[in-house]
Structures are given as structure tokens and as C-alpha cells.
A and B are shown apart, each in its own frame.
Chain A
């Protein structure tokens, strides 16, 4: 149990460091990528290329193992259907992402840095995310 937590703590820390090193913690750099018709900044493309370059190879190797090191089995999403909640949800997320330049990871990193914007954005994000989840479960 404790080893699992330590592994998660380390992975989280590495993720946060990656977001800062890659400038993704700065919403201006993210919006620069999303501004195709303006002062376009391609940095996000390189970040995604670096990250997916690693996962595309490493996940393939890891998922061929019978089980993860610290758990009985892999917890990988099994849903394959491209349905309405997926597309509608992604569309709504994209609008919010374009409106402020924050997706969840960078917003949380900015909260850790104590930045004023994140103190406003993160509670709103938690309200939306947790609220939708609980309501969706209630409605079944």
C-alpha cells in the first residue's frame, strides 16, 4: 500500500516537473499554440510529441507484462465506443481550455505555486468536475 502511494507521489512530482519544464504551466504558451491565426507558438506540439513518443513505445512494452509491479492487474479503460458524452464533453472542455489556457494539470501546478489565477480557476473546475460526476451518478 505505502509503496503504491510512494510510486504515485513520485509519478505526480515527475509529471508536475514536466509541465513546468515544458512551459505548459504558463497559459500564455498554451493559448499561443491555440492561436493558429495569430502569434502561433508551436511548443505544445513538441510537448505532446515528446510525451506520446515515450508512452507509445513504453506502454506497449508495459502492457505486455502480466501485471503491474505493485498491483494485481492493470486498470486501463475498456470502453471503446465513441459516444455522445465523449464528444460533447471533449467539445465543452476545449471551449474552457481556449477561454483561459488551463487544462487540469497546469491549473493544479499553478495552484501549488500559489498563483492568484489558479485560486479562482481550480475551485470552479472542481465544482464543475465533481458536480457533474455526482449528478451523472444520481441520474444514472
Chain B
């Protein structure tokens, strides 16, 4: 299957997942909110979050092994991964969402707030990659 077609198919699965979670549980499928919410959610709010994340991690991890794929990236600078991880955590926590919450779900609800967030993180991501690859000349 060519790449844009599998992208479209996978995107539809993601959209169906978000629809199911909203239709059945009344929840927004925002990965950062579901994850970090575990830190201070009341007890009754934890179960579904853990269940969702368990499904994501286990099924996703399994699929990465079962589906045909190319060898994973290796030797990416450790410091870049750590700094990026902290920035992604702080940013999605402060901005109340990531690519799933603001992107898939927020845009689906025609939320102007989410559109503003998506345009902002796309812009800074484009600039970051441009600077890294075409100004600083990093190969990664």
C-alpha cells in the first residue's frame, strides 16, 4: 500500500477511535490530557484513562512488531530526545492539548481555540526543523 493511502486509512482509524470514545464515554481522545490528567484526576476519573493508555501502548506496540515496517531509527542524540520530551510535556500541558486533542478532536469540533493551537505548533515545528536541518546542518 502506498504511503498516502495507508496514511489516510490510519487516519480514519484514529478518527473512528476518537468518535467511539466521545460517543460511548463522552470523552475527548486527547493523549496528552488523558496521560497527564492521571497526575491529579480524582480516583473515579483514573480507570478509563489507564484503560485507554493501556490499549494504546499495547495494541500500538504489538502492531509495530506485527505489521511490516522498516527498521526503527537509532542513534538519535540522547540529549535531543530528553530536551524534546520535556518541551512536548510542558507545551502540551500548558497548551491543553497535542496533535490528537487539538488536531484530530478540536478541528473535528470546529474549535477556533484548537485551530489556533494547531497553526501555532505546526509553525514552530516547521521553523525548528528548518533551523536544525538547513541552518545548523544537523542530519537527523
Contacts and interface: CB of A to CB of B under 8 A. Distances in A.
A140 interface: no
A15 B55 contact: yes
A59 B111 CA distance: 12
Interface in A1-48: 1, 4-29, 31, 34-38, 41-48
B83 A96 contact: yes
Nearest to B106: A77
Given A86-B116, A98-B128, A47 B14 contact: yes
B67 A92 contact: no
Interface residues of B, number: 108
Interface in B21-41: 21-29, 31-32, 35-36, 39-40
Contact of B14 (A15, A27, A38, A96): A15
A16 B55 contact: yes
B85 A5 contact: no
B51 A9 contact: yes
